[in-house]
Chains A and B, each alone.
Chain A
Amino acid sequence: MDSSSRAATHRGRGGITRSRAARLEELQKYLFILPALALFATFVLLPLGSALYFSFTTWDGLRTPEWVGTRNYARAFADTIHVRSYVNVGVYILGTLVVEVAFGLLMAVLLASDRLGFAFMRGLFFSPMVLSMVAAGILWKYVYDYRTGLLNEALRAGGLGDFAHPWLSDPGTAMAGVIVVSGWKYAGFFMIIFLAALRRIPTSLYEAAMLDGATALQRLWHVTLPLLRETTIIAVLLCVTGGFAAFDLFFTMTNGGPFNATEIPTTWIVKQAFDRHNMGYGAALTVIMTVVVGVVSLAYLLATRRRHAVEY
């Protein structure tokens, strides 16, 4: 035991009374982490373990769970809507990489100025971040409304009335509609992240590039972007893992519809578990999601690290 061996060293120095105090203090240290660990074990680890157990059972939430082996997993891979939900979330993630990360980077470059008003514009651009996804989703449902929506009305006012469209009720455009709102909400976050990285780049590099006659665009391409590599890796990772965890916006705006065009794993899990009371099947879907998120993040980190190693 660590505590006793530590106490022994104290005994050597200070005698019996000192050793008891030391042992007591050794125990005290665990009191610092006890509340955190107790909560974490009860409300994070324990449910995680039970999810794994439930995934091998069939259970309606009322009777006792019945062990069915891997049947839920076989069912998950045959469930076309479930498989499609991963295609959908993949499309969503690719879309958000453009409208959140790439657009955020663009805005960081555009708004990184000390001129009058730019600090205010940065603040305004970031502001949707503090709103709830629910508020954003409800507001944008009205923006997209076919008859009275801001978007279609603006198109009509601009003479583009032919493009007016029931954005969220058309399976062909619903996902794009959700992706745009995601960008509206989160581009400001990625702008700030890239802005912080831009500020860390020493101005001497730009001065050197200018002396070499590099144009603004060349400076952006050859100086700024390579130095934003590390930040971009983190931003992409955050965007991808955040994409898998998406739920609020989809639930608020489309809840998977129309015709499962925006069904993603989380909305499908909630439907299976809380509308259809397939708790065992729902649990299996959550386990699959955990594995997918883990594997994708890990693979991404390894891939970027390897490329990194080759480059230098």
Chain B
Amino acid sequence: MSTSASATRARRATPATILHYWVAITVVAGMAFPLVWMLYSSLKTNQEIALTPLALPAAFRWQHYVEAWQLGNLGRLYLNSLLVTGVSVTALVMIASLAAYAFARLRFRGRDALFYLLLIGLLLPAQVVIIPLFFLLRDMGLLNTYWALILPYTSWPLALTIYLLRSYYLTLERELEDAARIDGAGLFQTYVFVMFPLVRPALATVVILNLVNLWNELLFALLFIQDEQLRTLPAGLLAFSGYYIVDYRLVFAALSITTVPILVVYFLFQRQVIAGLTTGALD
């Protein structure tokens, strides 16, 4: 790689530098363009989109956003997604951290066997259980309730989350923990007041990882919730795009409404989000 070597020469615009910029900008702009196209198409009329797909809008028709928001019941979808992912991620991380601490630091009979059992979950794609899971939830009377998503969403990422948090707990110094124990703190006190606060950096990472994955989850959401009022964003957006498939402006507006806020949050917390989404692959 010539980067570090040429850092000293960065001020001068050599032909190589210009070529480097030109190639990089072309590729990245090309990749980003579909999103830009989506944004400005959402402000055009259907006729404009059909006749001149590439042209910029003649006027900014923001009312498409109001229409899509109301017709697609997008407020409700957002609320459902916030609720389901919020509850799932909170429960998941609490439960996973507790278990990860035990697997990392406590000694008890059967610990390693149970940990390996849990690791099975790392290898399995969730698709392999959709059929029995559907009937399990049906028999529990939970289909078409938020629980039909919250329970699987809390359970399925446990293996990876515990695995990641456990490796972080293993890196922590033992001294604080030992000091708390000598001072007479019980196991739970030691965990809650000493260890849990220390694991916060790793917690942020796994929260982001699971937040993004669960926010975007489709398969469970599609199969376990049929009630339109309870749908999450991906399932609702898919239904909306099927229903208004030729009403381009509405689909583009709905797409923009559901993607732009996520992209804004991403660009605000870019470093943390990238760290969160690539964790596990990097260690």
Do residues B50 and A148 form an inter-chain contact, with CB atoms below 8 A? Answer: yes
Residues of B within 8 A of A245 (CB): 125-127
The stretch that binds B, out of A11-19, A77-85, A166-174, A290-298, is: A290-298
The answer on a CB contact under 8 Å between A293 and B125 is yes
Asked if residues A32 and B191 are in contact (CB atoms below 8 Å), the reply is yes
Q: Is A127 an interface residue (CB 8 A)?
A: yes
In whole angstroms, what is the CA distance A142 to B222 when docked?
22
| A220 contact set on B, CB distance < 8 A | 1
| Per-residue interface assignment for chain A, residues 107 to 145, with 1 indicating a CB less than 8 Å from any chain B CB and 0 otherwise | 101111111011001011111111111110011111100
Instruction: Scan B43-54; emit 1 where CB is below 8 A from any A CB, else 0.
Output: 000000110011
- Known A142-B251, A210-B5, A289-B128: A148·B20 in contact at CB below 8 Å: no
Contact of A132 among B102, B125, B155, B218 (CB under 8 A): B218
Cβ–Cβ contact B130 & A29, under 8 A: no
Segment with Cβ contacts to A, from B28-36, B59-67, B172-180: B28-36
**Once the chains bind, are A32 and B101 in contact (CB under 8 Å)?**
yes
Q: Tell yes or no: A76 within 8 A of B by CB.
A: no
- The interface stretch among B68-76, B197-205, B262-270 is B262-270
* Total count of chain B residues near the partner, CB < 8 A: 99
How close is A287's CB to chain B, nearest CB, in angstroms?
Answer: 8
Give Cα distance in the complex from A143 to B108, angstroms: 57
B154 contacts across to A, CB distance below 8 A: 39
Instruction: Tell me the nearest residue of chain A to B101, going by C-beta.
Output: A32
A247 part of interface (Cβ distance < 8 Å): yes
Residue in A26, A113, A128 whose CB lies within 8 Å of B3 = A113
Give A302 to B1 CA distance when docked, in angstroms. Answer: 31
Q: Is B87 among interface residues, defined by CB-CB distance under 8 A?
A: no
Contact between chains at A127 and B263 (CB < 8 Å): yes
Q: Give the number of residues in A that approach B within 8 Å (Cβ atoms).
A: 104
In the assembled complex, A196 has its CB within 8 A of some CB on chain B: yes
Question: In residues 199-213 of chain A, which contact B (Cβ within 8 Å)?
Answer: 201, 203, 206-207, 210
Q: Which listed residue, A112, A113, A140, A150, touches B54 by the CB 8 Å rule? A: A150
Q: A32 touching B24 by the CB < 8 A rule?
A: no
Inter-chain contact B49/A118, CB cutoff 8 Å: no
On chain A, the residues within 8 Å of B54 by CB distance are 150, 153-154, 157
Could you tell me if B17 and A115 are in contact, using CB atoms closer than 8 angstroms? yes
Total contacts A-B at CB 8 Å: 277
The yes or no answer to B135 lying at the interface (CB within 8 A) is yes
Residues of the A chain whose Cβ atoms lie less than 8 Å from the Cβ of B241: 138, 141
Q: A33-B114, A112-B3 are in contact. Are A244 and B98 (CB under 8 A)?
A: no
**CB of A69 closer than 8 Å to a CB of B:** no
**Are A251 and B251 closer than 8 Å at their CB atoms?**
no
A286 and B131 form a contact (CB under 8 A): yes
Instruction: Give the Cβ gap from B65 to chain A, nearest Cβ, in Å.
Output: 16
**Is B78 at the interface (CB under 8 A from chain A)?**
no
A135-B96 in contact (CB<8A): no
Q: Which positions 269-312 of chain A face chain B at CB distance < 8 Å?
A: 269-270, 273-274, 279, 282-283, 286-287, 289-290, 293-294, 297
Contacts of B32 in A (CB 8 A): 124, 127
- What are 27 A-B contacts defined by CB distance under 8 Å? A1-B109, A2-B108, A32-B102, A32-B187, A36-B118, A51-B131, A109-B1, A111-B28, A113-B20, A114-B10, A123-B267, A123-B270, A129-B277, A131-B259, A132-B237, A142-B38, A148-B49, A148-B248, A184-B31, A187-B31, A198-B1, A219-B1, A219-B2, A241-B123, A273-B131, A289-B127, A293-B123
A binding-site residues for B, Cβ under 8 Å: 1-3, 25-26, 28-30, 32-33, 35-37, 39-40, 42-48, 50-51, 54, 61, 107, 109-115, 117-118, 121, 123-135, 138-143, 147-150, 153-154, 157, 184, 187, 189, 192-193, 196, 198, 201, 203, 206-207, 210, 216, 219-220, 224, 234-235, 238, 241, 244-245, 247-248, 251-252, 266, 269-270, 273-274, 279, 282-283, 286-287, 289-290, 293-294, 297
Add 9 more A-B contacts to A44-B120, A139-B34 (CB < 8 A).
Answer: A112-B1, A115-B20, A115-B21, A129-B212, A135-B255, A138-B237, A150-B37, A203-B5, A274-B134
